[in-house]
Amino acid sequence: MASKNSSNESEKDVKILDGTRRDFLKQSTLLTAIALTPAPLVRAAENGWDEKIAAVYEKVPLNIEVNGVKHQLSVEPRATLLDLLREQLDLTGTKKGCDHGQCGACTVHVDGHRINSCLTLGVMVSGKKITTIEGLAKGDQLHPMQEAFLKHDGFQCGYCTPGQIMSAVACIREGHANSETEIREYMSGNICRCGAYPNIVNAIQEVKDGGQTV
């Protein structure tokens, strides 16, 4: 697999980006360790032997740009973009609310479009530009939508807030913020259990009416 991968991807028709774990590795229980088993086995896992072998067979290279920073990663194809951001890149601003595309807390922009990162496999955004809540402000200067959420108290617990703000920015960019009713409909993919909806609508209207570039 490594050799297939090392060739120029764009020239190859079928890109095999991963091999499933081979049977021999499955049987190689020596390399997995369970607690309550003798200490040496646990240490084997701690030393990362298992990890190194697994990396060869289970992980694929992934190049993405997140908030303007390029990352060369090695990921399991089953890792979602959401888990990749939160667990591997420590970008925990993007939230996991339901993990099934039913709440919108995980909303990020991929090449400028809002999507649910919980239903997106990391490998599928190869070569794309991701923007998360951490990438919205310019240094200390908050994005106008962040300012508006502050001003209009568009949140309480704050957990859905990053997703709401990413969605709100997209809502204006898409041209779906022309009336209260339209904003409500186009913000309905983001659940807020604290019920800050009216304040969120007010925040979006203010940014829209302010005419700032979002």
> Smallest distance from the beta carbon of 124 to other proteins, in angstroms?
6
Choice from 52, 69, 174, 210 touching other proteins (CB under 8 A) = 174
The residue with tokens 């091999």 is 19
Q: In the complex, what is the shortest distance from the CB of residue 172 to other proteins, in angstroms, rounded to a whole number?
A: 12
The distance of closest approach from Cβ of residue 213 to other proteins in the complex, given in angstroms and rounded to an integer, is 18
Q: Does residue 183 bind other proteins (CB under 8 A)?
A: yes
Interface mask toward other proteins for 137-166; x: CB under 8 A:
x----x---x--xxx-x-xxxxxxxx--x-
Q: Does 134 bind other proteins (CB under 8 A)?
A: yes
Give the closest residue to 128 by CA, choosing from 63, 178, 82: 63
How far apart are alpha carbons 209 and 139 in whole angstroms? 24
Chain positions 113 to 132 lying near other proteins, rule: CB under 8 A, are 113-116, 119-121, 123-124, 126, 132
DSSP symbols for 43-80: HHHHTTHHHHHHHHHH-EEEEEEETTEEEEEEE-TT-B
By the rule CB under 8 A, 50 interacts with other proteins: yes
- Interacting residues of 170 by C-beta distance below 8 A, sequence separation 6+: 107, 109, 113, 114
From 200, 205, 208, 214, residue interacting with other proteins (rule: CB under 8 A): 200
The enclosing H or E element of 210 equals: helix 197-210
Residue 48 Cβ vs other proteins, minimum distance, rounded to whole Å = 9
Place of tokens 């920073």: 69
- By beta-carbon proximity to other proteins, the closer residue of 7 and 87 is 87
Does 210 participate in binding other proteins (rule CB under 8 A)? no
Q: Does 105 bind other proteins (CB under 8 A)?
A: yes
Kindly state the smallest distance separating residue 210's Cβ from other proteins, in Å.
17
Task: Please select the residue that binds other proteins; options are 5, 56, 65, 99, rule is CB under 8 A.
Answer: 99
Residue spans of alpha helices (H) in 28-174: 39-46, 49-58, 81-83, 144-151, 161-173
Token pair listed for 205:
């209207």
Burial of 32 (0-12, 13-18, 19+ CB in 10 A): middle
Closer residue to other proteins (CB): 19 or 65: 19
